[in-house]
Structures are given as structure tokens and as C-alpha cells.
Structure 1
Amino acid sequence: MDPDYSADWTHLQQAAKDHLWLHFTRHSSYDAGDVPVIVKGEGAYIWDAQGKRYLDGLAGLFVSQVGHGRTELAEAAAAQARQLAFMPLWSYAHPKAIELAERVAGHAPGSLNRVFFTSGGGEAVETAWKLAKNYFKLTGRPLKHKVISRAIAYHGTTQGALSITGLPTLKQQFEPLVPSTFRVPNTNSYRAAEITAGYIDVTDAASNEAFGRWAADQIAVAIENEGPDTVAAVFLEPVQNAGGCFPPPPGYWQRVREICDAYDVLLVSDEVICAFGRLGHMFGAERYDYEPDIITCAKGLTSGYSPLGAMIASDRLMEPFLADGNMFAHGYTFGGHPVSTAVALANLDIFERERLLENVRDNEGAFLTTLEKLKDLPIVGDVRGAGYFYGIELVKDRATKETFSEEECERILFGYVSKALYDEGLYCRADDRGDPVIQLSPPLICDQTHFDEMEQILRVVLEKASTML
């Protein structure tokens, strides 16, 4: 029986406003209205406390790969909690962490066989940077500590991960942050002419490949500018999230790998979003055919049924820590939690049994084609992405690609589009980190009926938004 919150609704709302500090939220937006309260999920849908249903077009937050309401995942958590509710991985192990580490390593590319569990994605990124610095100190190159990442890219909220993040407006209020991080251009092919100051005009496949080569080469330029003996790592997402889903141009990752090898710099594939099926493969590195030195991941590892993340490192990065007396002096109380690792194993069972990776690969073309129907609206400039991970960039003028002003973002994107999509029954993300976009990242169980529902709701809202420009 579904819970009934109607009798206590007034108290619930007041308690939320008085005590609950929401994440990344303008609390003033609820001064004259209710805080949305989600109480149930089933399959690709969620319900609020009033019983209204919404299509979960963001998989929670790029998390709910297998969908909501999977009782077997709840049962796996309960069974593990009854047997062993907690044990840290500080000098001790427990069976579920061992089993999951072996299973994750089996899916990871090449020699990435060492799995360090965390509580989530930001901790995984933090762990990767600390490992990179520690590794080079132990191998006689103590000056190698700097990190290169891409403009507009998001890598997390902890002090280190936020320092690597390429979004100035998210960082300014928390500065000073960790020094020694540097930005290079991203792979936004839609705005390649602007990014390269006209050097590349992406009009065909050949020029897109040239843009990818140029963007990758800027990593080499940054390494040279800082001094190769000071750069430890490059942090990149397979498909960049912030800014609205930037896929890599052909050959981009292969060139990045060449550059990292040439300068002895570690390549970190930040797959907190892209791993575990989001791009139709267990890891984005597999889709784009490259082998990083480290993978960071979280979210889809448990489909959100329990918190868990991981850093997966190559065997060579583990070698110095196997020497007598050496230790990676780093860890988290809840990293590799018994309940979370049990849930992750059951989650991966669902992946295999229901062939979710194949489902994404079989349907991604139909998903993209359905979203591209929206290009007949003058406000839609670009639709891009891969797998079940797409961004729709909104523009003021499609011919010139002119973007929204700050006032238009406030009035149209946040003042209307974001709220209207939710009111129409679609939970997704409207964002202006970079240019204004709508992001869609539904559960991996979705099919054409869900794609059509998304397109129909988007069309209603964006047709209205077009008249507001």
C-alpha cells in the first residue's frame, strides 16, 4: 500500500523548509510554494506526495540504470545487513567487497585490475588525484602533481574535485581551492568555430575529426606550458556532461592517449556518469576504444539503491604500494560498505540477465532520432550525445547560434522551461553551465514509448518557450 502524506502535508512542508538543506537549490524559490516531495518509484517513473506521476528522464541524477522499485536489490541489501551490516576495508576485507572488486576488474579495460572503493563519485576523483601524486613521489618524480582538465567540465564538489572542475561560477565562493589545476578546450563540436577562434569550421566529418585532433593537441600545449616534469594527470570524461553532453570527435581519445604516453602523464577517465551502461558499455573507455590508467566511477554501479563509488587503477600504479612498508594512506569509513557492495553485485546481475547494455545499443539510434524531431522548433540549436545520454542546446537564433543572455536564462530556462517540464510530467535537467541545455539520461530499461513521451512533453514546453524570446 502506498504511503499517504496528505494528512500531515502541512507539517511535512514546514519541516522541509525549516530543517532540510537541499543540495544545489535556491531555497528562495520555495518561499511562495511547496517543496516537491517524491515518495515512490516504479520502473521509469516516479510519483510525488500528491500521487502525480513523472517520467524520470534523468535516472534520478544519471544513477537509476535498472529503474525504480527493484525489490531484489532491496532484498540483497536487507540480507547483507542481517549478516554483516558494516565492516571497513581498513586492513580487513569482507566477501562482497572482494567479489565486487573481481567482477568490476573483469569488466574494466586492459590492466585496470585494482579497485579502490569509495562512497561516491567525488571521493573517487579525490582518490585518483591523491594516487597520482603519491605514485610519482614513490617512483622518484616528486614534482609531478599538476592536473589538466577541460573547460566547463564538472568533476565533483570536494576541494580537490572542485579544483579540477572547469566551471568558475561553481568555484568562486569556495576559493582558495587546491592549486595546480589547468584547463584545456572541450569537444563541443557545435561551437568548434568559436572554441578555435575560427581555426576549425565543423561542416563535415573530416573537419570534425580535425577539431578533435586540435582539441587533443591543446593538452600537449598545456603540458609543455607547465613543464612535463610537473604534470601528473589529465582528467577527462568519455562524454563530457556539463555544457550538455559533448561526445568526442573521431580519433580524439587515441590522440590523448598518445600525448599522455609521450609525457608520462596519467590518463584518468572520469566515468562517474558514463560507466555502467550509460553509453551502452560497462565503461565509456570501451565504447571509444582507449585504455586509461585510472577510471573513476559511481552512480550506476548500484543504480542508486545504496551509495558506492570506485577508483579502478592499473596494475603498474599499484606496484610501488606492494613494496615492504609502503601504504596508500587514504580511505573512507563507508567505502566498500558491505550493504552497498551486495547491492552492486545484484545490480550487475540484472544488467546481464536483462541485457541492458544491448538494450542501450539497440535503441540509442531511435532515441536520438526521436529527440532530433525537435529541431523543427526555432529554439532548438543542437541535439547531441551518445547511448542514453543526450543534451538539447537551446538558442536565441538558430542561424547564428546566438545563445541566451543571462536575463533570458533566468526568465526562460529557469523561470519557465524547468518548471513547465516538471509540471507536464517530465523530470529532467535544464542547465546553463555553459550554454543553456536540457539534459536527458533516462533509466536503461526505457524504450520507444518513453522516448515518444519525452519528445511530446518537450515539444509542448519548447514551443511555448520559443514565443518568449
Structure 2
Amino acid sequence: MTATQESPTSTAEAPLASASSAASAAPAAGAAPSASADGSHLWRHFATMGDEKPVRVIESAEGCYLIDSEGNRLLDAIANLFCVNIGYSYGEEIGLVAAEQYAKLPYHSAWSSTHPAANALAAKVAELAPGDLDHVFFTPSGGESVEAAIKIARQYFHLKGENRFKVITRYNAYHGTSLGALSMIGIPAYRASFEPMTPGGLRVRNTRRVGRPENETEEEFTAFLLDDLEQRILQEGPDTIALILMEPVQNHGGMLVPPKGYSAGVRALADRYGILLASDETITGWGRTGEWFASSRFETQPDIITTAKGLSSAYAVIGCAIASEKVFAPFREAGVSFTHGNTFGAHPVQSAVALKNLEIMERLDLNSHVKAKEEDLRSTLAAALEGFGIVRDLRGTGFFYAIEFANTKADGTSLTGEQLAKLYGKETLAKFEDEGVIFRLGTGGGIPVLSVCPPLVADQPEFDHMAAALRAVLPVLQAEFDAL
């Protein structure tokens, strides 16, 4: 199937009535197009701006599909950036809520006073968060939620009279690009251009099993990982470590699901040494794994959750850090404040939009949908991958899967950076787009991973479309690999 052919439609509910005519009015007849309409003035994020090839311009969307300026329909198999959980068919309904809030109160900070939209959203987030995580600090993004969590942990121990400042994360883990968060992440290439880093970032092994001994049991692997974590704690000195920061399922490196007993073991080590535990659910929160938070699915109770993306399904720019009563207690003392904030945290319009998004998710019962369909997604992908030696692993949970490809030749030698880029770069992504599907393909840490994370409203027609694209492209990729 080419990108210009008709594709299956989404199973999402139809949107409600159109927004006001003022909000959707077309430009005046004969109006000249903007001088920057070709995107030449736009400095794109994480983009190689020196590329000469024109960049695709996405003009509209519906269901699980994006539509470009040439009319091509492309299945969004990664929910854009793992965030458009309800798909693209609710802009008009959400737009009505945004317009109403703009008319009533377009902006007010939540510093010395507050407003109803922030109060309502905070109450809803606290209701859905696990355990006693019911103190909500709003931010504009996931990275800024992580930044807030790091500062909360440091100030928490400062208020308790302890000088703890170090943060433990995992190899190849991504937690944001602000300097504090960047200093903690486990991806050296992302840090290299901005060194020196903020002190205190420590890394331990992640849960990737590819390459581990074949006869190693899951219990042995868990014990190995927890010993690695404990030895790092002891080596650094427990009384210097403020925070352990981990995703329940690590995205970068390819949907690394924790082995049995690992999440509980991390919680136990944090408790043993008096360290706060933060669960970065920027991606895994809000239904991605079939629960409001993946921490619940993997039976762990963090002290802090950081999140964004699916909180509004990216219909609004909003995130938050959610803290437990234990973490919040020192900040409740007379005269104490968390000395951190930003202009747009708890923005009224963004808050109203996020609240409407959660209402839609509950109305569609998307958590149940993901749980009911996750095995269908896995089995459809597995059938499409069968017989290709270049495929090393299929892993994930919920609507959060990764396909890991080979990074070594048949003789065991590793592919060079140039070979990895040639095999798993833009040309391969373009082949998938020719089949009408947008995937995400990366080689972070030398590990080639194709991300498969469709909107949570996706169903079997979308699964089949992804599988058809894989069956069309993988023979070409296999031949190119064999020719190395």
C-alpha cells in the first residue's frame, strides 16, 4: 500500500459539533501565504537542519491518521511522540472547552492564588494516581516534570537536614533535555555537546536481556540487576543519594519491560537506604500500558511520579510531578515553599483541555481497550516479523512495543556507525512511509529499535496496516543486511 492509497479508518468515536465559526474562520480571500509557509524559518527539534530534501508538511489528521500537504494518509504508529493517546478526532470537542476557558479566564498563574481549572485537574490527577500520591505540581512538559522532581528531592532532604543530591538513572534512559534532567540521563551522546554537566548523575544497568546468558533465569537476571543497583548505592554512599529515577518500562533502548520482582526490589532498596523513588511516566502514564499509570501494572509505589504527554493527549502543553504525602509533608511547614516554578504551570486553558482529555479517555474506557487488544497487537506484529533473521527481539506491553534489529554481522562483528545509519536511517523510514505508516526508528546506544506505539484508539485495522508495512519493507532491509 502506498501513502496515497485509502487506508483503514480509526475506531474512535466521532467528534461532537464544530467549534465556533470565529475559531475556525478561513483566511480572507486573496490573502498572501506566509513567507515561512515552506518551513525554511523553522528550527526543528532534534533535526539535521542541513538536509536538502524538503520536509513533509502535515496539514490535518483524523482518527489514527495524519494527512500531509499532498493528501497522503499516514498511519501514526507512534502516537506522534508517544502522546496522542485519544487519536486525532477530538479537536473540535476539546476546542469548545478551550474556547470557553479562553472567554472566561485566558490566563492566571497558580502561584499566590489559583483558579478552578487547575483545582479540578489536580483533584482528578490525585484521584487517578496510585496510593497517596495526591499533591500535584504542574509543569509545561515531561522534561520539566523531571526537573521539578529532582529539585523536590534535593529540597526535601535539605529540609530534613541532609545533604543528598545524587540521582540514579539507568543506562540509555532518556528523561529530558533541560540541563538538570540532561545531567542525569543515560545517553552520553545527548550530554556531550553541553558538558560540564550538573553534578550528581549516576547510572546503573537497564533491563535489556538481549545478549545475556541463554540459561539465565528471570529470577537470576533480576538478582543481577538489583545487585548492580545496590553496589552503586554503596559505592557512592547512601547518604549522598536523593533519588532513584526510572521509567516503569524504559522507552529509549526499546520498551524494556522489567523482569519479575525487579520493580519491587528497587522499591525495597530505596526504602532500605532512605532514598526517594521517582517513576518517570511521561510516556507510560495515561493508559499506554492499560493502566492510568504503569507503576500500578508493575506493582510498585513510587514517592513521586513525573508525567506529561498523555495527560492531555498532547492537545495541550502540560505535565506534572505528583508527590506522596511523605514527600509533601516538609513543604507544609510554616514558612516553607518549594522554590521552583514557571509562568505556564497550571495554565487555565491547558488545565481545562487536559481535564477534558481524561473525561474522553474514561468515556471510551481506553484502559480496558488496551488490555483487551494488547495481545492482538503483539501477535499481529509477531506474525509479520516471522522468518526475518534481522529481527532480534519483539518486546513491550499494552500499546507500547519495540522491534530490535541486528547490530552485529553473522560473524559477530559489530556494525559500524556508518552501517547502522545506512541500514536504520531515514531511507528505511521513508520506505515505511511509502507503505503509509509512520514509525520511529533509532539507533541510540548502538541498538537499532523500531517503536510501535499507536494511539490508544487503534484496533485491528491499524494493526494489520502496520503488519503489512513491515512485510513490505523487511525483505528489503534483510537483503541489505545480508549484503554487508
Mapping of 1:285-324 within 5 angstroms? 285-324=295-334
After TM superposition, the score normalised by the length of structure 1 is: 0.93
Q: Does 1:91 align with 2:112?
A: yes
SS in 1 for 2:424: helix
SS in 2 for 1:132: helix
Correspondence for 1:178: 198
Q: 2:435 aligns with which of 424, 428, 434?
A: 424
Which 10-residue stretch deviates more, 243-252 or 207-216?
Answer: 207-216
After TM superposition, the score normalised by the length of structure 2 is: 0.90
The change in CA–CA distance for 1:136 and 1:247 in structure 2 (over 3 A counts) is same
Q: 1:326 aligns with which of 336, 341, 345?
A: 336
1:366 & 1:400 partners in 2: Cα distance?
35
SS in 2 for 1:47: strand
Correspondence for 1:134: 155
Q: How far apart are 1:424 and its partner, in Å?
A: 2.0
Mapping of 1:382-421 within 5 angstroms? 382-395=393-406, 404-421=415-432
Residue pair 2:409, 2:415 contacting (<8 A) in 1 also? no
Q: Does 1:103 align with 2:115?
A: no
The change in CA–CA distance for 1:393 and 1:23 in structure 2 (over 3 A counts) is same
The change in CA–CA distance for 1:90 and 1:452 in structure 2 (over 3 A counts) is same
Correspondence for 1:267: 277
2:242 & 2:199 partners in 1: Cα distance?
13
Q: 1:52 aligns with which of 72, 89, 93?
A: 72
Q: Does 1:450 align with 2:462?
A: yes
2:317 & 2:480 partners in 1: Cα distance?
41
Count of aligned pairs between the two proteins: 453
SS in 1 for 2:480: coil
Which 10-residue stretch deviates more, 131-140 or 417-426?
Answer: 417-426
Aligned identity (percent) is: 41
2:259 & 2:97 partners in 1: Cα distance?
41
2:75 & 2:426 partners in 1: Cα distance?
21
Letter of the 1:423 counterpart = D
1:407 & 1:430 partners in 2: Cα distance?
15
Residue pair 2:381, 2:467 contacting (<8 A) in 1 also? yes
The change in CA–CA distance for 1:256 and 1:354 in structure 2 (over 3 A counts) is same
The change in CA–CA distance for 1:299 and 1:311 in structure 2 (over 3 A counts) is same
Residue pair 2:407, 2:448 contacting (<8 A) in 1 also? no
Letter of the 1:24 counterpart = F
Greater share of residues in helix: 1
Letter of the 2:189 counterpart = T
Residue pair 1:13, 1:34 contacting (<8 A) in 2 also? no
Correspondence for 1:39: 59
1:249-294, CA deviations, whole angstroms, 9 ceiling, x for partnerless residues?
0110000000000000000000000000001100010100110000
The change in CA–CA distance for 1:23 and 1:102 in structure 2 (over 3 A counts) is same
The change in CA–CA distance for 1:277 and 1:238 in structure 2 (over 3 A counts) is same
Letter of the 2:400 counterpart = F
The change in CA–CA distance for 1:10 and 1:213 in structure 2 (over 3 A counts) is farther
Which 10-residue stretch deviates more, 435-444 or 371-380?
Answer: 371-380
Residue pair 2:143, 2:181 contacting (<8 A) in 1 also? yes
Correspondence for 2:48: 26
Correspondence for 2:381: 371
Q: Does 1:64 align with 2:87?
A: no
SS in 1 for 2:360: helix
Mapping of 1:176-215 within 5 angstroms? 176-191=196-211, 193=212, 201-203=213-215, 207-215=217-225
Mapping of 1:458-469 within 5 angstroms? 458-469=470-481
Q: How far apart are 1:190 and its partner, in Å?
A: 2.1
Correspondence for 2:244: 234
1:437 & 1:372 partners in 2: Cα distance?
15
SS in 2 for 1:467: helix
Which 10-residue stretch deviates more, 439-448 or 213-222?
Answer: 213-222
The change in CA–CA distance for 1:356 and 1:14 in structure 2 (over 3 A counts) is closer
Q: How far apart are 1:375 and its partner, in Å?
A: 3.2
Q: How far apart are 1:209 and its partner, in Å?
A: 2.7
The change in CA–CA distance for 1:264 and 1:171 in structure 2 (over 3 A counts) is same
Letter of the 2:431 counterpart = A
Q: How far apart are 1:417 and its partner, in Å?
A: 1.2
Correspondence for 1:161: 181
Letter of the 1:43 counterpart = G
2:145 & 2:407 partners in 1: Cα distance?
38
Q: 1:16 aligns with which of 35, 39, 55?
A: 39
1:82 & 1:13 partners in 2: Cα distance?
30
Correspondence for 2:451: 439
SS in 2 for 1:190: coil
The change in CA–CA distance for 1:103 and 1:133 in structure 2 (over 3 A counts) is same
1:402 & 1:253 partners in 2: Cα distance?
34
Correspondence for 1:197: none
Q: How far apart are 1:400 and its partner, in Å?
A: 7.9
Residue pair 1:132, 1:233 contacting (<8 A) in 2 also? yes
Name the Cα RMSD after superposition: 2.1
1:283-342, CA deviations, whole angstroms, 9 ceiling, x for partnerless residues?
010100110000000000000111000000001111111111111111111011111111
Residue pair 2:407, 2:420 contacting (<8 A) in 1 also? no
The change in CA–CA distance for 1:404 and 1:370 in structure 2 (over 3 A counts) is farther
The change in CA–CA distance for 1:222 and 1:8 in structure 2 (over 3 A counts) is farther
SS in 1 for 2:386: helix
